[in-house]
Amino acid sequence: MKTHPEGRLPYYRAEGPATAPPLLLGSSLGTSTALWDEVAPELAVTHRVVRWDLPGHGRSPADLIGPGATVADLAALVLALADALGVDRFAYAGVSLGGAVGLHLAVHHPDRMAALAVICSSAHFNGSKPWEERARTVREEGLAALAENANSRWFTPGFSVPRLIEDQRTADPDAYAACCDALAAFDLRDRLASITAPTLLVAGREDPATPPAHLREIADAVPGASLTEIAGASHLAPAERPEAVLTALRGHFEGYAARGTAVRREVLGDAHVDRAQARQTPFTARFQDFISRYAWGEIWTDPTLSRRERSLVTLTALVAHGHLDELAMHVRAARRNGLTPEQIGAVLLQTAVYCGVPAANSAFAVAQRVLDELDELDGPGAPDSDEGGAPGEPGEPGQSGQSGQSGERDAATAPEQA
């Protein structure tokens, strides 16, 4: 995890693979990046997650904004942060004021927005007067009184997150009041129809601050938007119902997994993927999701290398590490991707030089068996026949000493992996 506590940028926490698709998370008025503590680590399995603090909240400098600030000013801070991180396009999810920032970005900077999730937020916050009054009160009296009744505004009865209550208590009053100014002036209702990013709205069914009707208004106006209501959640749904929020966000950002599953089927065959999915259990579900999103949705879809070239690289890597069970599967995949038996043989011959003769010897035995099976089935025209036996049966020159069934073909030992 990387943090950035200083400078003219808001404080941020970055976690997840540096090469994964970026996802920025914005918090609500009065809270910090801690609002996402139960959700962000799970999202970081498949995304480069960057949480940011509002000015004067958490560890962000208070003087990033001043009196009369607007949501546009906050959005400019997000873009500056993205630029500093070298991020051009990103997915974005935000709660309340953080969600309003996301709506502004989607309307005014559509080229930067890959996908949007707006959680417990609104396209307007019931006019300017209540926010002007709150800003005046906070400037005069501080935040102690608001912190005392935060539970009733943020959570359902009997639930609390003390860390978030403390965030409210310790926020900078002037910066908090400037954020109230931004909410007072915010109204994007007449621009919602221009949003083109895939948009998800998430409402807490018990939310008194931004009731489901506010999210429904956005969903009705944004082309193709969807709405999810979470039972038992008030205004800070990621803290109160993190599992439900995580499920909604994963479903919304499923494009990578759906694309990955399609490519996985094209390369490995329907039969293999169907078996892998049929054997999926709650224990292996996250691994299967990781494979679909990252290996197949990101790496195998990168146009820098063709699928034929990726097969060449994959065959070499599997031989080098002695993963002969997966090698059998990827010999079939290589044939689907257009490699001839002669080209596969040439790859394996080169591995004898760089990976060692014994490794290449075992690999040739595996490849010969697979190619013979494909010949019997009329070549790669029957791409879904990827059952096969163990690499290197006893007495063959490619005997590897591995077990007779690979983990990916034995549901009792491990999930199908690739």
Q: Spell out the SS3 assignment of 267-302.
A: HHCHHHHHHHHHCCCCCCHHHHHHHHHHHHHHHCCC
Which pLDDT belongs to residue 280? Answer: 79
**CA separation for the pair 298, 309 (Å, rounded):** 16
Which pLDDT belongs to residue 6? Answer: 46
H or E element at residue 228: strand 226-230
**CA separation for the pair 228, 252 (Å, rounded):** 10
Tell me 124's DSSP state: B
**CA separation for the pair 28, 33 (Å, rounded):** 9
Which pLDDT belongs to residue 418? Answer: 57
Which pLDDT belongs to residue 133? Answer: 97
Q: Is-contact 331 348, C-beta < 8 A?
A: no
Tell me 15's DSSP state: E
Regions of the chain with pLDDT less than 70: 1-7, 254-257, 378-418
**CA separation for the pair 197, 377 (Å, rounded):** 46
**φ, ψ for residue 34, nearest 5 deg:** -60, -20
DSSP 3-state of 162: helix
**Which pair of structure tokens corresponds to residue 112?**
């930067």
* CB proximity list for 159: less than 8 A, separation 6 or greater: 151, 234, 240
**CA separation for the pair 22, 28 (Å, rounded):** 20
* CB proximity list for 3: less than 8 A, separation 6 or greater: 11, 12, 13, 14
Q: Are strands 48-52 and 12-15 parallel, antiparallel or unpaired?
A: antiparallel
**CA separation for the pair 401, 404 (Å, rounded):** 9
Helix 324-336 to helix 341-354 angle, to the nearest 10 degrees? 140
**CA separation for the pair 393, 402 (Å, rounded):** 10
**Which pair of structure tokens corresponds to residue 171?**
């926020």
DSSP 3-state of 88: coil
**CA separation for the pair 310, 333 (Å, rounded):** 10
Which pLDDT belongs to residue 114? Answer: 93
Helix 324-336 to helix 357-376 angle, to the nearest 10 degrees? 50
What type of residue is 211? P
* CB proximity list for 347: less than 8 A, separation 6 or greater: 312, 315, 316, 339
Stated pTM of the model: 0.65
pLDDT tens digits, residue range 155-204?
999 999 999 999 999 999 999 999 999 999 999 999 999 999 999 999 99
Q: Is-contact 115 47, C-beta < 8 A?
A: no
Which pLDDT belongs to residue 143? Answer: 97
DSSP 3-state of 157: coil
Long-range contacts for 301-309 (Cβ within 8 Å, ≥24 apart)?
Answer: 301/259, 301/260, 301/263, 307/267, 307/337, 307/338, 308/334, 308/337, 308/338, 308/339
